Amino acid sequence: IALGSCTMKLNATSEMIPVTWPEWCNLHPFVPQEQAKGYYEMFDELSKALASITGFDSVSLQPNSGASGEYAGLMAIRAFHQANGDHNR
């Protein structure tokens, strides 16, 4: 289930330091896919780990927070109830 923007305020500064490293945050958004293989490998491993931990068949890394993240979380809860025959929730 997605984390809301409120949760982002609670992240410790030390946890946020790695996302400011130039090696991490300076990837151009239109970089050719073959030049971003490490990112894709990391995202794939993270997605598989999250799916395994949560019991979902698959997961999405987007949206990650805010209103769209909350909506995605609510839709996951709704799908769970529908899949379990609980149509009144």
DSSP helix, strand, coil percent of the chain (3-state; round to 5): 65, 0, 35
Residue 1, pLDDT score: 47
pLDDT tens digits, 33-80: 999 999 999 999 999 999 999 898 998 888 666 777 788 888 889 999
Residue 51, pLDDT score: 95
**Burial readout 6-39 (b: 16 or more C-beta within 10 A, e: otherwise):** eeeeeeeeeeeeeeeeeeeeeeeeeeeeeeeeee
Residue 47, pLDDT score: 95
Residue 8, pLDDT score: 57
pLDDT band for 19, please (50, 70, 90 cuts).
Answer: confident
